[in-house]
Chain A
C-alpha cells in the first residue's frame, strides 16, 4: 500500500513538474519581438555564412557538376545503354526519383495551403521553408523525367504544338495527363511561393545595399504595402490556398495512374490514387522535419522562429499521416493477397522472400512500424533531432516503396522468361546529382530569400492575446481578415 502510494506520489510529482514547465512563452506567438528586431534577425541569418557553409556548398556544387551535368551529358552522348533500364524493367530509378521528388513536393502545399485554409497558427514561421521544398522538389522531378526520355531534345513533342508532321500528343494517355498535371503544379506552386514572398522581399530591399539591394528591388516589384496591394495579395493567396489543394491531389493521383491503369500484377489497384497521395504526404512531412532541424541548427536566430511547439505540431501531423498511409498500404496489400491471382501471388511472395525482401521489410519498418511507436510521445515529437531522424527513415522507406513499385514490379510479370533483376548503371550518379542539386538550391535560397515569412509571423503575434480566465491565462486568437 505504502509502496503503491509512493509510486503514485512520484508519478504525481513528475506530472505536476511537467505541467509547471509549460510556459506560454515557449510558444512563438506568446513571445513576440518588435517587427524591426525580427527583420534584423532574419536578415542576419541570410547574411551570415561560415567556412562550413562554403565547404558544403563547394562539395555540393562539385557533385552537381559531375554527377548531374557531366553524368547526364555523358548519357546523352553515349545513349541510354549506360543506364540499367532494359527488358523487362524499362522504367528504372529515373521514374523512382520522379515519384519520390513529386512526393517531397507535396509537403509544401499541404503545410502552406491546407493549414492556411484551416487557419492553423503554428504553420506561420515555416510555410516558406516547406513551399521551397515543393518548387525545388518539382525541379528534380522534372529533371528526372527528362533524363528518362533519353533523347531529351525532342521533349517538345510532348506539347500540343501544331506541326507539319501531324505529330500530336495522345490525351488519352496517363503519361500525357502527368505532363499537364505536373506543369500545372510546378507553375501553381511557384506562383504560390512567390506571392507571400513579395512583402518579405520588400523588407529585405529596405535593409540591404549593393547587389542585394538591386536583386530585392527587382523581385519586390515596387511593393509598398498599400491597402490595395495587401487586398490584391491576400485575395490571391486565399484563392491559391484553395486552388492548389485539388491540384496537389490530382498530381499524385495521376502519377499513380501511370501504374494503376496498366493490368499488371501489383499495379492494377483502385486505391492507388489515395495511397500515392498519402505516401507523398508521408515522405513530404518527413522531409519538412529534416529541413526544419537543419535550418534550426545551422542558421542564426532560427531557434527563435522554429520552436519545440512547431516540431510537436509537425510530429502530430506525421502521426496522423502515418496512420492514414498504413491503412491504404494494408488495404492495397490485403486485397491483392486475397485475390488469388497467380501472378500477383508470385509477386507478393517475391517481395517477401526474394532478393529485394530487405527493401520491403525496411519499408514496413520505417514507414508503418517506427513512426507510430515513436510519435505518440510528446517528448520525442518535441526533440528536433529525433523527429528529423524519424523523417529521414520515412523517406528512406518511401524511396524503397517507389523502387519496389517500379523496377521490381516490372520484373515480376506474366512472362517469367523475361524476369531479370534491374541493375542500375549511371542512374546512381544522376540520383546523387539530383539530391545534391536539391540541397544546393536550398542552401543558396537560404542566403538569398527570407526563409521565415516575417510579416506572417508578426500578423500571427498581433492576432494572439492572453486572456485571463480565473487563475490562469488562456490564449485567444482573432482574425484580422
Chain B
C-alpha cells in the first residue's frame, strides 16, 4: 500500500527515463508516477503511457454547437424578428455560410480554450506538489511507494543520476 510520495529531480531526459524504467522494475505502476517538466516531453521518450485529453473532443463539440447556432441565427431568427432586405431572399444561403463559418470557428475555439481549463483543473490555487527547478529545465518525477521501500528506491535513483530524492511537499505556488 503506497504511503510515501517522493520527488526525484533530474538534470536531463535520459536519467529521468532510466529512473522511470527502474521504478517500473521495482513494482511502481504508471498510475503512481507523475512527471513535471519545463518543456513538453513526448511520453515515448520517458516510456510513459500516452496522456489522455478531452480537448480535441471538446473542440469538435464546440464546432458542432457553433454550426447549429450559426444556422439558427441565419435561418431561425429571421422568422422571430422579421428583417426584409430588398432584392434578397428572406433567408439567403451565401451570407448564411459566412455567419455559420464564423460561429463554428468561434465556438470551436472557445470550447478548446475551456477544454484546457477543464482537463487541467485550472485555475487551481491550492497547495500542490511542485519544485521551482522545473521551470529551470529540470525534470521532476513524483511517485508513490511503500514507506519501507523509500531507502532502497532513493539509492537506486541516485545511482541513476537523480540530483535529489526527497519527500514531496505540497506548497503554495
Interface residues of A (CB under 8 A from B): 34-36, 39, 160, 162, 166-172, 176-177, 180-181, 183-184, 187-188, 191-192, 194-195, 199, 202-203, 205-207, 217-218, 220-236, 239-240, 243-244, 246-247, 250, 254, 455, 458-459, 462, 480-481
Contact flags B47-84 to A (C-beta < 8 A → 1, else 0):
01001110110010000000000000110011011110
Majority-rule SS of A interface residues: helix
Knowing A177-B102, A229-B120, A243-B109, the reply to whether A235 touches B95 (Cβ < 8 A) is no
State A480–B96 Cα separation when bound (angstroms). 41
B135 close to chain A: CB less than 8 A: yes
Tell me whether A228 and B53 are in contact (CB under 8 A): yes
Contact of B39 among A171, A172, A220, A458 (CB under 8 A): A458
Contact of B136 among A34, A187, A236 (CB under 8 A): A34
Tell me whether B102 and A184 are in contact (CB under 8 A): yes
Give every chain B residue within 8 A of A240 (Cβ-Cβ).
109, 112
Tell me whether B173 and A250 are in contact (CB under 8 A): no
Tell me whether B42 and A171 are in contact (CB under 8 A): no
B154 close to chain A: CB less than 8 A: no
State A254–B105 Cα separation when bound (angstroms). 15
What total of A-B pairs shows CB separation below 8 Å? Answer: 192
Give every chain B residue within 8 A of A39 (Cβ-Cβ).
135-136
Contact of B173 among A168, A176, A222, A227 (CB under 8 A): A222
Tell me whether B36 and A225 are in contact (CB under 8 A): yes
CB distance from B138 to the nearest CB of A (A): 8
State A202–B132 Cα separation when bound (angstroms). 9
Tell me whether A235 and B53 are in contact (CB under 8 A): yes
Which interface residue of B35, B37, B83, B109 has the most chain A CB atoms within 10 A?
B109
Binds A, one of B123-131, B144-152, B156-164: B123-131
Tell me whether A232 and B120 are in contact (CB under 8 A): yes
State A221–B113 Cα separation when bound (angstroms). 13
Tell me whether B38 and A231 are in contact (CB under 8 A): no
Tell me whether A455 and B99 are in contact (CB under 8 A): no
Give every chain A residue within 8 A of B53 (Cβ-Cβ).
228, 231-232, 235
State A397–B70 Cα separation when bound (angstroms). 38
Contact of A481 among B42, B48, B105, B120 (CB under 8 A): B42
Tell me whether B73 and A160 are in contact (CB under 8 A): yes
Tell me whether B51 and A227 are in contact (CB under 8 A): yes
Tell me whether B134 and A225 are in contact (CB under 8 A): yes
Give every chain A residue within 8 A of B56 (Cβ-Cβ).
235, 239
| Given A36-B136, A36-B137, A160-B73: 14 more A-B contacts, CB < 8 Å | A35-B135, A35-B137, A171-B83, A180-B103, A199-B135, A217-B125, A222-B121, A228-B120, A231-B51, A231-B53, A234-B40, A235-B53, A236-B113, A480-B39
Tell me whether B109 and A227 are in contact (CB under 8 A): no
Contact of A226 among B35, B92, B98, B99 (CB under 8 A): B35
Give every chain B residue within 8 A of A35 (Cβ-Cβ).
38, 135-137
Chain A residue at minimal CB-CB distance from B63: A243
Tell me whether A222 and B115 are in contact (CB under 8 A): no
Knowing A195-B113, A227-B51, the reply to whether A250 touches B101 (Cβ < 8 A) is yes
B28 close to chain A: CB less than 8 A: no
Which interface residue of B53, B73, B136 has the most chain A CB atoms within 10 A?
B136
Contact of A187 among B48, B110, B121, B132 (CB under 8 A): B110
| Pairs across A and B, CB under 8 Å, 6 listed | A183-B106, A184-B105, A230-B40, A232-B53, A240-B109, A480-B42
State A230–B38 Cα separation when bound (angstroms). 9
Tell me whether A166 and B119 are in contact (CB under 8 A): no
B26 close to chain A: CB less than 8 A: no
CB distance from A432 to the nearest CB of B (A): 32
Give every chain B residue within 8 A of A226 (Cβ-Cβ).
34-36
State A206–B134 Cα separation when bound (angstroms). 10
Give every chain A residue within 8 A of B122 (Cβ-Cβ).
221-223
CB distance from B116 to the nearest CB of A (A): 5
Give every chain A residue within 8 A of B45 (Cβ-Cβ).
480
Tell me whether B173 and A220 are in contact (CB under 8 A): yes
Tell me whether A459 and B39 are in contact (CB under 8 A): yes
Contact of B113 among A184, A191, A227 (CB under 8 A): A191
Tell me whether B55 and A239 are in contact (CB under 8 A): yes
CB distance from A396 to the nearest CB of B (A): 32
State A202–B135 Cα separation when bound (angstroms). 8
CB distance from A229 to the nearest CB of B (A): 5
What 10 pairs between A and B have smallest CB-CB spacing? Answer: A35-B137, A222-B124, A168-B81, A36-B136, A230-B40, A231-B51, A221-B122, A221-B123, A203-B135, A184-B106
B8 close to chain A: CB less than 8 A: no
Chain B residue at minimal CB-CB distance from A463: B39
State A481–B42 Cα separation when bound (angstroms). 6
Which interface residue of B52, B80, B88, B113 has the most chain A CB atoms within 10 A?
B113
B1 close to chain A: CB less than 8 A: no
B24 close to chain A: CB less than 8 A: no
State A36–B98 Cα separation when bound (angstroms). 47
Tell me whether A222 and B116 are in contact (CB under 8 A): no
Chain A residue at minimal CB-CB distance from B75: A171
Give every chain B residue within 8 A of A236 (Cβ-Cβ).
55, 59, 112-113, 115-116
Give every chain B residue within 8 A of A187 (Cβ-Cβ).
106, 109-110
Tell me whether B125 and A233 are in contact (CB under 8 A): no
B13-34 residues with Cβ-Cβ distance < 8 A to A are 34
